Amino acid sequence: MAPKLDPIVGRYVHAVIEGVPHRLYFEEAGQGIPLVCLHTAGADNRQFRHLLTDPEVTRRFRVLAFDMPWHGKSTPPDGWEKSEYRLTTQSYTAAIRAFCQAMELDKPVVMGCSIGGRIVLNLAIAHASEFRALIALEAADFQQPWYDTTWLHRPDVHGGEVCAALISGLIAPQSPPTSRHETLWMYMQGGPGVFKGDLYFYRVDGDLREKVKTIDTKVCPLYLLTGEYDFSCTPDDTRRTATHIPGAEVTIMKELGHFPMSENPAKFRGYILPVLEKIS
């Protein structure tokens, strides 16, 4: 019997980000318009595996999901052991642009979730002309913090388990248990302090409340989709953000939380396919 294979190919690409060599892991499937997917804080590209195996998507899009530096199977930079990881607006933006350049992508679509959604807003602010369209999932220009991130990295609390337990509440109660626990499993596997380092961008460095007013959706269309059960980035946070961005399209997704693509792939599909249809 022939092996049952996912149509996903995983490879490594070398890219220089802010002068530092990186070896980034990515997975891809499909052909057509490049669609670069950005995972959430403290996670990795596995969150997009259902999108990568959806023929409705991959017949028109070349879907690429890379593990951010320090995440998943991307090799941390040489000397990582001598530093504390901290993501910034500048370093995150540089990583995305470096990946797109290293892969020689021509005006890709970028879709990011959570911190990936926030940085998509910065791409719209600073680099809109480089992209065909931008999709921000669970994104806002600012969100009210709801826990102390110092609990995420200390020797007396298991980092993976506390990260997963904290974010478990952001998953909608209607999401299938298997998808819920697969999403949590990924959170249990982040490197020490990586989730906390990502949230530096989210909480401290990435306040975009003034800058989003400069977004011009005529240069690059912007779509905002947020799950109704996301109490980290609430629907009101997304709606408030959109009021400052003429032309931005907002969708509030019923029975979904902060991880739509992995917590309930079937439900998310119903929301993202129409957006991709418009873009293609």
Structure tokens at 129: 């002309």
Asked if 187 is part of the footprint of other proteins (rule: CB under 8 A), the reply reads no
Query: Residue 144 or 214: which CB sits closer to other proteins?
Result: 144
> Where in 196-215 is the site for other proteins (CB under 8 A)?
none
Q: How far is the CB of 239 from other proteins (least distance, A)?
A: 14
Asked if 158 is part of the footprint of other proteins (rule: CB under 8 A), the reply reads yes
Query: Residue 163 or 212: which CB sits closer to other proteins?
Result: 163
Asked if 161 is part of the footprint of other proteins (rule: CB under 8 A), the reply reads yes
Q: How far is the CB of 72 from other proteins (least distance, A)?
A: 23
Q: How far apart are CA 158 and CA 162, in angstroms?
A: 6
Asked if 176 is part of the footprint of other proteins (rule: CB under 8 A), the reply reads no
Task: Please choose, out of 50-58, 69-77, 123-131, 167-175, the segment that lies near other proteins by the rule CB under 8 A.
Answer: 167-175
Among 75, 88, 149, 174, binds other proteins (CB under 8 A): 174
| Encoded amino acid at 26, one letter | F
> Where in 214-253 is the site for other proteins (CB under 8 A)?
228-229, 231, 234
Find out whether 140 and 240 touch, Cβ atoms under 8 Å.
yes
> Where in 96-155 is the site for other proteins (CB under 8 A)?
144, 146-147, 151
Among 156, 177, 178, 218, binds other proteins (CB under 8 A): 156
Asked if 58 is part of the footprint of other proteins (rule: CB under 8 A), the reply reads no
Asked if 168 is part of the footprint of other proteins (rule: CB under 8 A), the reply reads yes
Q: How far is the CB of 165 from other proteins (least distance, A)?
A: 4
Q: How far is the CB of 231 from other proteins (least distance, A)?
A: 4
Among 63, 100, 135, 170, binds other proteins (CB under 8 A): 170
Q: What is the chain written as a DSSP string? A: ------S-EEEEEEEEETTEEEEEEEEEE--SEEEEEE--TT--GGGGHHHHT-HHHHTTEEEEEEPPTTSTTSBPPTTGGGS-----HHHHHHHHHHHHHHTT-SS-EEEEETHHHHHHHHHHHH-GGG-SEEEEES--S-----S-GGGGSBTTB-HHHHHHHHHHTTS-TTS-HHHHHHHHHHHTTSPTTHHHHHHHIIIII---TTGGGG--TTTS-EEEEEETT-SSS-HHHHHHHHTTSTT-EEEEETT--S-HHHH-HHHHHHHHHHHHHHH-
List of residues contacting other proteins (CB under 8 A)? 144, 146-147, 151, 156-158, 161-162, 164-166, 168-170, 172-174, 228-229, 231, 234
